[in-house]
Structure 1
Amino acid sequence: MVRPLLVKVTCGADDPERANQGFTVASLAVAAGAEVSLWLSGESVWAAVAGREDPFTLEHAASPRALVAAVRAAGTVTVCSQCAARRGITEADLDEGARIAGAAVFVEEALRADVQALVY
Structure 2
Amino acid sequence: MSRAFSGKPADDLTIDALVRDELAPDDVRIHPDTLEAQAVVAERHGNPQLAANFRRAAELARFPESEILALYEALRPRRSTMDELDALADDLAARDAPRCAALVREAAAAYAARGLLR
The interval holding the TM-score normalised by the smaller chain is: under 0.3
Identify, as 1 or 2, the structure richer in strand.
1
> Given the two structures, how large is their TM-score scaled by the length of structure 1?
0.27
Choose between structure 1 and 2 for higher RCO, CA contacts under 8 A separated by at least 6 residues.
Answer: 1
Identify, as 1 or 2, the structure richer in helix.
2
Query: Which structure's CA Rg is the greater one?
Result: 2
> Given the two structures, how large is their TM-score scaled by the length of structure 2?
0.27
